[in-house]
Amino acid sequence: MVARHDQTTDPVLLDGLLQARRGTAFFARKLNELTDAELDGDSLLPGWSRRHVVAHVGYNARAVARLVEWAATGVETPMYPSVEIRNHEIDFGATLSPIALRNLFDHSAVHLNVEWRDLPADNWHHKVKTVQGRTVPAEETVWMRTREVWVHAVDLDNGATFNDIPAPVLERLLTDITGAWHTRGTDSGLLIKVDGTDLSFGDTTAAAPTVVSGSLAAITQWATGRGADGTTAQRGGEPITPAPPAPKWI
């Protein structure tokens, strides 16, 4: 049988698909390291067990696949009928047996990968709508999935950290988060600096900003609301301990 490959030849899109697939493999590795009993343990997300995280990532793959199917067929297939149904689905998934929960992740990941692989090159530009109501090209589904698998691999609280996430993923994630803050106007007086780089985000025009600094991994972890370890903060040259919590991301 002849091997089947992605139909797109766009190098940027192919690189994005590679990052998404690597993230999926990384999540799978951290999941497979957990025993069935350990799935009942807490995740890093308040109110969610590891089971909730796995269920969310599994059902997210199905939801993203629906968007890719929309781009392929032109038939509108929303990610979820409603946010309430999405939340109910996750809660239900968290009650599955360990083998069913693991199969949910595995099978949904394969399904999404096949949908991406078989999407004709021209259809990647077709417009679809996210659960938040944003209209985006199908290309965006790759990034939507990339950030889910990499960040939630950390949320499994099984040894993964933001240092395991590739720098290009971290930088794009930080750009997205700070962009959301700016849109909402919640970054006023807040300046983010990444140590060892020229990267800065947030309110770059503030006269006396609160400056939060750290490595790219530490700053992105802080920006996602997952702790301030590895960051420092100051205002007017005076240190602030601990660093203030980041504005709401999602």
125-137 average pLDDT score: 93
Q: Pairing mode, if any, of strands 210-214 and 190-194?
A: parallel
Express each pLDDT in 6-36 by its tens digit: 999 999 999 999 999 999 999 999 999 999 9
Spatial separation of the C-alpha atoms in residues 116 and 139, rounded to whole Å: 10
Q: How confident is the model over 115-132, as a mean pLDDT?
A: 95
Q: pTM score, two decimals? A: 0.93
Half-sphere exposure of 79 (CA within 13 A, CB side): 25
Residues 6+ apart with CB under 8 A from 60: 145, 148
Distance CA 119, CA 167 (A): 28
**pLDDT computed for residue 142 by the predictor:** 98
242 preceded by cis ω (within 30°)? Answer: yes
Task: Give me the pLDDT at residue 1, please.
Answer: 47
> The sheet that has 210-214: what strands, in order across it?
200-202, 190-194, 210-214, 231-235, 238-240
Q: If you average pLDDT over residues 39-54, what whole number do you get? A: 97
Mean pLDDT over residues 200-226, rounded?
Answer: 90
Average pLDDT over residues 57-77: 97
Residue with tokens 């949320």: 155
Name the strand (E) or helix (H) holding 4.
none
**What pLDDT score does 164 carry?**
98
Confidence of residue 193 (pLDDT cuts 50, 70, 90): very high
With beta carbons less than 8 A apart as the criterion, state whether 117 and 7 touch.
yes
pLDDT digits (tens, 9 = 90+) for 145-189: 999 999 999 999 999 999 999 999 999 999 999 999 988 888 888
- Say yes or no to pLDDT of 116 above 50: yes
49: left (phi over 0), alpha (psi -120 to 50) or beta: beta
Tell me what the pLDDT averaged over the chain comes to. Answer: 93
pLDDT of the residue at 4: 76
Show the tokens assigned to 103.
Answer: 């199969």
* CB 220, CB 162: distance < 8 Å: yes
CA pair distance 24, 113, nearest whole angstrom: 10
**pLDDT, position 3:** 57
Tell me the C-alpha distance between 171 and 76, whole Å.
32
Domains and CATH numbers, the chain: 11-160 (1.20.120.450), 167-240 (3.30.1050.20)
